[in-house]
Amino acid sequence: MKPRKIKDNIYWMGFVDWNSRLFDSLIPLPDGTSYNAYLIKGSDKTVLIDTVEPEFYYELEAQLENIPRLDYVVSLHAEQDHSGSIPHVLSRYPEAKVISSPKAKNLLMDHLHIDEESIITVKDGETLSLGDKTLEFIHTPWVHWPETMVAYLREDKILFSCDFFGSHIATTDLYVTDEARSYEAAKRYYAEVMMPFRKVIKKNLDKIAVYDIKTIAPSHGPMVPRPAFIIDAHKEWVDDLPKNKVVLPYVSMHNSTKKMVDYLVSALVDRGITVEPFDLTVTDIGKLAIALVDAGTIVVGTPTVLAGPHPHAAYAAILANALRPKARFLSIIGSYGWGGKTVETLAGLVSNLKVEILDPALVKGSPGKDAYTALENLAETIAVKHKENGLQ
Ligand code: FEO
């Protein structure tokens, strides 16, 4: 794809990756992604913001064909999908300097072997004049690495945000045209890499609130022409109060745990609670992560296998533990054949979660009357707890 003009002297560059289906060897990408770079030609200086995943540099190289001089390459984030092609860019433009946050400097040196002399670090709030345009750098740590920052182009009111406000969508549209689609893609990305840092992200949202932003230009997915849409979504996601919702990841081998899951779903729905069950043998973990963003309670359904939780359930627990959702309650349901330490093992896997553990419902063999009574009690406890905590 050729460079695409955003405004006079501001261009989208980068690579639209239609085919990737897995990001970081972990995150499903149902709609592909893009690696966006942005070229700004000021009256005095020319700057490139971010680059592309190195395997796609050939496209960026072609886009830079008619750019004879580059003064700066801004690295908003040192992760390789944005900074990985900086060494190639520096080879093409040896006079260019890399601009990064102080924390990014060592990361760029460690990950990409960029010379220290080539890097200029910028303080929070520092500006860079390009002549008739001014870039202001705003440190926004932990979206989702410690060194991340964003850049605000004052004259054009564009916020270059890298991963922050990004979405994994491959599209030929330069701007978001379907907010509902972008909402889900952005929520998926937030859930998978940013949710653990939501308290810091909350502060970052406060920090950028004072800027008059007309366009958000992330480094994944289309640009956002109505910033309030995506900023408000993030405010909701980082808010401390979860929703009146239960997320129920489960796995069942002989249908006993499945019967318990079905019963619990129905008992919760009877009490006005939204439930999202996920069969872990077929679940897209991105969908599970999205559901975890605002769940009030997590209930893990698992049979006991070899005296412990099913490995799929253990994986879900480890994932939830890493993502640190804001859920307030957690429980475990399932069936066992002869015994084991399923509850103890699973509880040990979620030590990061600040949750109250509700009495589990573990039964031997096929669920009967006692099991359904226990599930009814669990549903009632969840309903009461949600109400007491003001979850809506
Ligand atoms: Fe898109 Fe954290 O890299």
pLDDT in tens, 301-342: 999 998 999 999 999 999 999 999 999 999 999 999 888 899
Work out which ligand 1 atom sits closest to the CA atom of 219: 1
Residues 6+ apart with CB under 8 A from 63: 1, 2, 3, 13, 14
CA distance 58 to 95: 20
The C-alpha atoms of residue 15 and residue 37 are separated, in whole angstroms, by 8
Closest ligand 1 atom to 220 CA: 1
Q: Are 99 and 90 in contact, with CB atoms under 8 Å apart? A: no
- The single-letter code of the amino acid at 161 is S
What's the 251 CA to ligand 1 centre distance in angstroms?
A: 31
Phi and psi angles of residue 182, each rounded to the nearest 5 degrees, phi first:
-65, -35
Instruction: Compute the distance from residue 352 Cα to the ligand 1 centre, in Å.
Output: 23
What's the pLDDT at 24?
80
Ligand 1 atom at minimal distance to the Cα of residue 148: 2
Residue 145 CA: nearest ligand 1 atom is 2
Ligand 1 centroid, distance to 343 Cα (angstroms): 35
Calculated CA dihedral for residues 301, 305, 308, 310, nearest 10 degrees: -40
Q: Supply the residue whose CA is at minimum distance from atom 2 of ligand 1.
A: 79
CA distance 5 to 38: 10
Burial (0-12, 13-18, 19+ Cβ within 10 Å), 328: buried
Domain range list for the chain: 4-238, 246-388
How far is it, in rounded angstroms, from Cα 166 to Cα 223?
8
Closest CA to 234 of 224, 219, 244: 224
CATH 1.10.3720.10 describes domain 246-388? no
* Packed helices 227-238 and 198-208: angle between N→C axes, nearest 10 degrees: 150
* Sites in the chain below the pLDDT cut of 70: none
For ligand 1, residues with CB inside 6 Å are: 77, 79, 81-82, 144, 163, 220
Specify the amino acid at residue 185.
A
* 3-state DSSP helix/strand/coil % of the chain, to nearest 5: 35, 25, 40
Reported residue count of the chain is 392
- Taking the centre of ligand 1 as the mean of its atom positions, its distance from the CA of residue 162, in whole angstroms, is 7
- Please name the helix (run of DSSP H) or strand (run of DSSP E) that holds residue 152, with its range, or none: strand 149-153
CA distance readout (Å), 134 to 11, 215, 306, 312, 371: 16, 16, 62, 51, 65
> Distance between CA 232 and CA 208 in Å, rounded?
12
How far does residue 79's CA lie from ligand 1's centre (Å)?
Answer: 6
Token pair for residue 169?
A: 């969508």
Atom of ligand 1 nearest to the CA of 35: 1
Residue 94 · residue 80 · CB < 8 Å: no
Count of C-beta atoms within a 10 Å radius of residue 116 = 9
Closest residue by CA, ligand 1 atom 1: 163
- What separation in Å is there between the alpha carbon of 83 and the centre of ligand 1? 9
For domain 4-238, is the CATH number 3.60.15.10?
Answer: yes
The closest-lying atom of ligand 1 relative to the alpha carbon of residue 80 is 3
Say if 4-238 and 246-388 have the same CATH topology: no
Handedness of CA 265, 268, 270, 276 (dihedral sign): negative
Question: Which pLDDT does position 142 carry in this prediction?
Answer: 97
Identity of residue 265:
V
Task: Quote the ligand 1 centre to 246 CA distance (angstroms).
Answer: 30
Give the pLDDT confidence score for residue 340 in this predicted structure.
Answer: 87
The span from the CA of 249 to the CA of 391, in Å, is 20
CA dihedral sign, ordered 355, 360, 366, 368: negative
The angle, 0 to 180 degrees and rounded to 10, between the axes of the packed helices 179-189 and 285-292 is 90
How many Å lie between the centroid of ligand 1 and the Cα of residue 150?
13
Ligand 1 mean position, distance from CA 82 (Å) = 7
